[in-house]
């Protein structure tokens, strides 16, 4: 069993992070598959954990994609700089 420290209290599971970003869980999983986002911690079978920075990144990727940029373009140009 993983104990959460006070610093870990802001961590979210993938479904919580997706909801906070305003996208589906499948969207976050797809972004992970493409290398656009990464969980900050994996806890074996207990899942992947995300922070507020990931939520901001998912929102940004989603907004850029909805504005007409391809996910490949986003990954190769914008996210490479960060």
For the stretch 57-69, pLDDT in tens is 999 999 999 999 9
Domain ranges of the chain: 11-81
The span from the CA of 60 to the CA of 76, in Å, is: 15
Q: Two tokens at 44?
A: 């074996």
Helix H or strand E encompassing 50: strand 48-50
CATH no. of 11-81: 1.10.1660.10
pLDDT score of 21 more than 80? yes
pTM over the 0.85 mark: no
Question: CA end-to-end span of the chain, whole Å?
Answer: 34
Number of H helices, E strands in the chain: 4, 3
Name the average pLDDT for the chain.
83
The span from the CA of 63 to the CA of 46, in Å, is: 30
């Amino acid at each position: 069993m993983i104990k959460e420290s006070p610093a870990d209290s802001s961590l979210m599971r993938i479904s919580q992070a997706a909801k906070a970003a305003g996208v589906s869980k499948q969207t976050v999983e797809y972004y992970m598959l493409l290398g656009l986002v990464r969980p900050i911690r994996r806890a074996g079978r207990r899942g992947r954990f995300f922070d507020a920075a990931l939520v901001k990144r998912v929102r940004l990727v989603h907004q850029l994609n909805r504005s007409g940029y391809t996910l490949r373009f986003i990954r190769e140009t914008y996210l490479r700089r960060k």
